Amino acid sequence: MATVPELNSEMIAFHSDENDLFFEVDEPQKMKCCFQSLDLSYPDESIQLQITKQHHNKSFRQVVSVIVAVEKLWNIPVAGPWTLQDEDLRTFFSFIFEEEPIFSDSWDDELIVADVPIRQLHCRLRDEQQKCLVLSDPCELKALHLNGQNINQQVVFSMSFVQGETSSNKTPVALGIKGKNLYLSCVMKGDMPTLQLESVDPKQYPKKKMEKRFVFNKIEVKSRVEFESAQFPNWYISTSQAEHKPVFLGNNSGQDLVDFTMESVSS
């Protein structure tokens, strides 16, 4: 425990300015600051703040906090001799610091999640009939059977785990084409929810908070997965029973294929 001393002979060896800082006569580069109060006296112990020219990696905010703490401690009234206890520190905090509410509504959500690392998984998808997904036109995916050397034509997806409504069986993801600035997105064309490949700026995508049209709820069903549109609930990435047809957004009517097997690939 530390006590606050009375002015004694040791402190007389220093001379003070109006800010109560005491400097040693023979060591101008070092100064000591002793806290004292005539009402708070214990001759055998003292609290001292020693300041040197040694540089420390401290922020300006920390320095200011120390100065504010010192100034406010001087003004705390004490009735008689007092010994600093551990529980007294909690009392000091109420004098030194003021609690201010933080309103998240005033923050930009983009800034909050800007520095959050994005977890990605590279994978290939096949439908229930083992048809592979290939990039047919610049912005169109088709499902067809591949074999032999043609197997390399199937696209590799960069699945990003993004911000969205998460539940026990749904995981929000975005599906981009590896090596391309293309992402699967869901938009309304006429009166029909439609799946498309959308070109994006590679400097901005992928990001943790993707626009809702890019987000799919990955649903695991036994050993298979389904991808439900977050923009249009109950609409899923689907393939046709027929060969070489475009991948589309279906409402799981029973004739479309919505279950996929997912194969992870190395980066």
Res 75: pLDDT: 67
d(CA 50, CA 200): 58
- Enter the pTM of the model: 0.59
More confident residue, 192 or 44: 192
CA 189 vs CA 135, 193, 199, 209: distances in Å: 22, 6, 17, 24
Pick 120-264's CATH classification: 1.10.10.10, 2.30.40.10, 2.80.10.50, 3.90.1150.10: 2.80.10.50
Res 187: pLDDT: 97
pLDDT of 229 strictly over 60: yes
Res 76: pLDDT: 63
d(CA 91, CA 52): 29
- In sequence order, the 6+-apart residues with CB closer than 8 A to the CB of 129 are 145, 239, 241, 257
Res 182: pLDDT: 96
**What is the domain partition of the chain in residue ranges?**
120-264
More confident residue, 37 or 66: 66
Res 95: pLDDT: 57
pLDDT of 14 strictly over 70: no
Res 108: pLDDT: 53
d(CA 39, CA 42): 10
Res 262: pLDDT: 96
CA 42 vs CA 22, 38, 45: distances in Å: 19, 10, 6
Listed range (10-24, 110-124, 164-178) with the worst mean pLDDT: 10-24
Confidence tier at 23 by pLDDT (50, 70, 90): very low
Res 202: pLDDT: 92
More confident residue, 5 or 200: 200
Bridge partners of residue 195, in order along the sequence: 186
More confident residue, 165 or 31: 165
Terminal Cα-to-Cα distance of the chain (whole angstroms): 59
Res 33: pLDDT: 47
Res 78: pLDDT: 57
d(CA 197, CA 209): 19
Q: Confirm if 176 and 119 have CB atoms less than 8 A apart.
A: no
- Per-residue pLDDT tens digits for 169-207: 899 999 999 999 999 999 999 999 999 999 999 999 999
Confidence tier at 158 by pLDDT (50, 70, 90): very high
Res 125: pLDDT: 97
Confidence tier at 34 by pLDDT (50, 70, 90): very low
d(CA 122, CA 176): 10
Res 42: pLDDT: 43
- In sequence order, the 6+-apart residues with CB closer than 8 A to the CB of 1 are 45, 83, 84, 85
Cis bond before residue 246 (omega within 30° of 0)? no
Q: Confirm if 237 and 184 have CB atoms less than 8 A apart.
A: yes
pLDDT of 61 strictly over 80: no
pLDDT of 149 strictly over 60: yes
What is the three-class DSSP state of 63?
Answer: helix
